[in-house]
């Protein structure tokens, strides 16, 4: 694929979001408030059942629970966002009646879904991470706060790469089946459970643990915890997880490139586009 075409696809994604924000200011404000609402919910729930001291005791490290939850909230929200947006985009376009007009664009469907979404992801995530910077600086000091923010940015950017392919696989599934919204509703929480977002993967039965190893979200969750748990972040465990995520990115993006074509073909064969 020519660079010019990649550029116009990326630009089309930017354009779409800029127009959405311009015409829906409330949407933009909601986007800004959303991360703090999520953090408030998670921390609020924590305070309901315990205190910062019990949190530190359970974790076994001297770490601020708010700083911990900032990192995990950002990475988790970014992961969910990729799965919902790339996978759900097919749904949204079908609902709008715009799917045929996207398919008749002279590019592959998987490339359109992924490339036109990347700018939105980077933009949303960057804003959300930067939004937490003042709070992190307040909690951990200027240097540690900035370093943690930068590492979070790196983590969510790298974490996005395999998730793009993974979510495009989702999209191909949604193209094939008819009750697509149901699938998106139940598949997302299951993936998060298998990824260790709710319970550590070490507590899972062996078969669940095996599945968790092939899910890219498992590593983004681990990355979030690693970043959150360390007072002054060490690069070695982070780089290890980033390496795994890069490897999975290659595998999932190749798979999605092949399978979304099959999904598209199946939908075209059955006449459900």
User: Residue 74 contacts by C-beta under 8 Å, 6 or more apart in sequence?
Assistant: 35, 125, 128, 129, 132, 152, 156, 224
Q: Which residue from 48, 97, 235, 236 is in contact with another protein, where contact means CB under 8 A?
A: 97
Tokens of 7: 């550029």
> Site size for another protein, by CB under 8 A?
32
Place of tokens 């997880």: 241
Query: Distance from first CA to last CA of the chain, Å, rounded?
Result: 25
Per rule CB under 8 A, is residue 177 in the interface with another protein? no
Supply the minimum distance, in Å, between the C-beta of residue 9 and another protein: 7
d(CA 217, CA 157): 13
Contacts with another protein, 100-119, as mask; x by CB under 8 A: xxxxxxxx----x---x---
Q: Which is nearer to another protein, 101 or 199 (CB)?
A: 101
Only one of the segments 17-25, 37-45, 59-67, 169-177 lies at the binding site for another protein (rule: CB under 8 A); that segment is 17-25
Q: Tell me if 149 sits within 8 A of 74, measured CB to CB.
A: no
Q: Which is nearer to another protein, 7 or 57 (CB)?
A: 7
Going from the C-alpha of 166 to that of each of 12, 74, 158, 234, the distances in angstroms are 22, 19, 13, 28
Q: Which is nearer to another protein, 118 or 129 (CB)?
A: 118
Supply the minimum distance, in Å, between the C-beta of residue 14 and another protein: 9
Interface residues for another protein in 224-253 (CB under 8 A)? Answer: none
Supply the minimum distance, in Å, between the C-beta of residue 100 and another protein: 5
Q: Tell me if 123 sits within 8 A of 209, measured CB to CB.
A: no
Q: Which is nearer to another protein, 28 or 36 (CB)?
A: 28
User: Residue 78 contacts by C-beta under 8 Å, 6 or more apart in sequence?
Assistant: 121, 125, 128, 156, 159, 160, 220
Q: Residue by residue, what is the 3-state secondary structure of 132-175?
A: HHHHHHHHHCHHHHHHHHHHHHHHHHHHHHHHHHHHHHHHHHHH
Q: Which residue from 20, 47, 126, 199 is in contact with another protein, where contact means CB under 8 A?
A: 20
Supply the minimum distance, in Å, between the C-beta of residue 53 and another protein: 48
Q: Which residue from 1, 24, 47, 213 is in contact with another protein, where contact means CB under 8 A?
A: 24
Per rule CB under 8 A, is residue 205 in the interface with another protein? no
Can you give the binding site for another protein, defined by CB under 8 A?
A: 4-5, 7-9, 11-12, 15-16, 19-20, 23-24, 96-98, 100-107, 112, 116, 265, 268-271, 273
């Amino acid at each position: 694929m020519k660079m010019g075409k990649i550029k116009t696809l990326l630009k089309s994604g930017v354009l779409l979001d800029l127009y959405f924000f311009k015409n829906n200011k409330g949407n933009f404000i909601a986007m800004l408030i959303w991360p703090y609402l999520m953090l408030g919910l998670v921390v609020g729930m924590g305070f309901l059942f315990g205190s910062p001291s019990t949190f530190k005791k359970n974790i076994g490290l001297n770490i601020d629970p708010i700083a911990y939850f900032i990192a995990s909230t950002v990475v988790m929200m970014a992961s969910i966002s990729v799965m919902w947006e790339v996978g759900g985009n097919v749904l949204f376009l079908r609902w709008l009646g715009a799917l045929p007009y996207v398919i008749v664009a002279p590019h592959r469907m998987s490339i359109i879904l992924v490339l036109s979404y990347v700018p939105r992801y980077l933009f949303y995530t960057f804003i959300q991470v930067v939004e937490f910077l003042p709070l992190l600086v307040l909690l951990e000091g200027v240097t540690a706060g900035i370093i943690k923010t930068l590492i979070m940015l790196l983590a969510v950017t790298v974490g996005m790469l395999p998730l793009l392919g993974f979510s495009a696989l989702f999209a191909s599934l949604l193209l094939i089946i008819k009750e697509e919204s149901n699938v998106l509703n139940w598949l997302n929480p299951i993936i998060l459970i298998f990824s260790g977002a709710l319970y550590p993967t070490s507590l899972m039965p062996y078969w669940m643990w095996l599945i968790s190893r092939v899910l890219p979200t498992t590593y983004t969750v681990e990355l979030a915890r690693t970043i959150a748990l360390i007072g002054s972040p060490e690069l070695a465990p982070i780089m290890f997880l980033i390496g795994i995520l890069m490897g999975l990115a290659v595998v999932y993006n190749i798979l999605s490139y092949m399978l979304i074509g099959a999904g598209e073909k199946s939908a075209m064969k059955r006449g459900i586009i």
